[in-house]
Structure 1
Amino acid sequence: MAGSANLNVMMKTARKVGRALLKDFGEVEQLQVSTKGPGDFVSRADRQAEETIRNELMHARPSYGFLGEEGAEIEGEDPTRRWIVDPLDGTTNFLHGLPHWAVSIALEHKGQAVAGVIYDPVKDEMFHAEKGGGAFVNEKRIRVSARHRLIESIFATGLPFAGRSDLPESLQDLARLLPACAGVRRFGAASLDLAYVAAGRYDGFWERKLKVWDMAAGIVIAKEAGAIVESMTQDGDPMADGSVVCANNEIFATFAKVVRKD
């Protein structure tokens, strides 16, 4: 698929950073790791990845703003456009040698994600989409699953760690959903969870207390693949309130009702 100039820049940058991270992943035991917070580790590789992404994107589009996980936000001359970046989503997986992590880059225009790239270097899978152009993994068009029964569906979520206050709420979600579905997975990278819904690998995904960089790229990819994406709060905005529920059109209403406690 021939993408826009912006999308091509995003994919080229994600591949460049992905190659460097993959090399570091092969030497994971030797990474110099510092602690950023309980259960939330950041590595030299993570910081270097964001610096590389920032340099590449700001060189290509110097007027755009930039928001990344690791550094301070950069206000752009163009207040309507901003890059939103998670240089290494799945950091804990990465540091434990688990091959499930990704580079996530989104372009926001007037408060909405209009292009997204999620690159999994281990599997060499490049999920990408632009608003109105469909969703793809590498060169293959992707669509959400066609399952219409909750009992046949697989869902993904994140679970609180290190004493986070939302543990009881998450356990209640699981208690309601597990008896009604075919299974729930917790793989540790929200961007890939959304991409997997887009590709029909999961039938739905929900999570609370996310950051905008965790889901900006995944939201546009999932929507372009035919998913419904909403906040966990009725009429809320996922990118503003940090919660998301996502599924195909066939099961969304039933699924959302279960996890929202409606």
Structure 2
Amino acid sequence: MTTPYARSPDVDVATAGARAGADVVRALYGRRLARVDKGAGDFATTADIESEKAILDVIRAARPDDAVLGEEGGQRGAADAARQWLVDPLCGTLNYAVGTMLVAVNVALREGPAAVADPFGGEVFCTDGETAWVRQDGADDAPLTPASATRLVDVNLDPPFPSAPGFRAADLLAHPGFTGHFRPRVVSTTLALAWVAAGRRAAYVTDGDDLSGSVHFAAGIALCRAAGCVVTGIDGALIGETTRGLVAAADAETHELLMSGIRRA
């Protein structure tokens, strides 16, 4: 196996962390797990918590001075630290809890390298911030190449809906401009962003606030950008602190078709 894309030591840290978390998620799959209620229908499981611990062990060993923002454990280290890792130990907890294997483990250095691990597919999608590739045991690294040929678009339909009534994802699915070009899929996990970067999905659409700094989306956004996808908010603006939502498309044509549907939804 060759690893020609590992140009930054931080890529190895992100990849090792994502793999460590994925090992925990895979090992605990199918067991009766305790749940921690977060309110508003959200919850964590023992797998989320143990996966985050495994990831933190990797980061602490390799980068003891870096700060970490974890989905379950919150902020560790200074929030304004020069280097901060964003960790979502189990993206797709509801899927996982009901026995669905469509989940991901996300580890991203803010404004830097990132990795998204598929615990059950055995793949780790990686970026050094400039290029993006997929790594699988026993196989050579392969570049991520976006493509819109599948016409499959993952749309996050989970509440809340902060942009309503101006934009509601469910309305997009019923718009003739959408149904005439695309076929909807609903994954509700950052795995969908990795699939956009890999050419397995034409696009991904979600609502939300400041997703670039979110433990849920930072790694997926980094992958899509490095792979050459068109990544904006639902208003078409570049992702930033004041941007709402996310549209990650394989190419400019797909992005414009989706933006047209969003504007009219």
TM class by smaller structure: 0.7 to 0.9
For 2:188, the equivalent position in structure 1 comes to: 188
Distance 1:57 1:194 in 2: 23
State, as a whole percentage, how many aligned pairs show the same letter. 26
- Select between 138-147 and 237-246 the one with higher mean Cα deviation: 237-246
Note the C-alpha offset of 1:77: 9.3
Note the C-alpha offset of 1:76: 4.2
How many residue pairs get aligned? The number is: 250
Deviations 1:25-58 (A, max 9, x none): 032xx21123212332211111121122123212
Note the C-alpha offset of 1:203: 0.4
Distance 2:223 2:16 in 1: 17
For 1:207, the equivalent position in structure 2 comes to: 206
Distance 1:170 1:133, change over 3 A: closer
Distance 1:26 1:167, change over 3 A: farther
Distance 1:69 1:246 in 2: 22
Q: Which has the higher helix share?
A: 1
Distance 1:18 1:145 in 2: 27
Which structure 1 segments of 5+ residues have no match? none
One of 131, 134, 137 as aligned partner of 1:133? 131
For 2:153, the equivalent position in structure 1 comes to: 155
Secondary structure (helix, strand or coil) at the match of 2:77 reads coil
Note the C-alpha offset of 1:146: 5.0
Asked if structure 2 preserves the Cα contact closer than 8 Å seen for 1:62 and 1:76, the reply is: no
Asked if structure 2 preserves the Cα contact closer than 8 Å seen for 1:135 and 1:222, the reply is: no
- Select between 195-204 and 248-257 the one with higher mean Cα deviation: 248-257
Write out aligned runs for 1:69-148 (5 A). Answer: 69-76=71-78, 79-108=81-110, 112=111, 114-138=112-136, 139-147=141-149
- Normalised by the length of structure 1, the TM-score is 0.86
For 1:15, the equivalent position in structure 2 comes to: 19
Secondary structure (helix, strand or coil) at the match of 1:80 reads coil
Which structure 2 segments of 5+ residues have no match? none
Asked if structure 1 preserves the Cα contact closer than 8 Å seen for 2:116 and 2:124, the reply is: yes
Distance 1:18 1:234 in 2: 33
Note the C-alpha offset of 1:159: 0.6
For 1:52, the equivalent position in structure 2 comes to: 54
Structural RMSD (CA): 2.4
For 1:253, the equivalent position in structure 2 comes to: 256
Asked if structure 2 preserves the Cα contact closer than 8 Å seen for 1:160 and 1:166, the reply is: no
- Normalised by the length of structure 2, the TM-score is 0.85
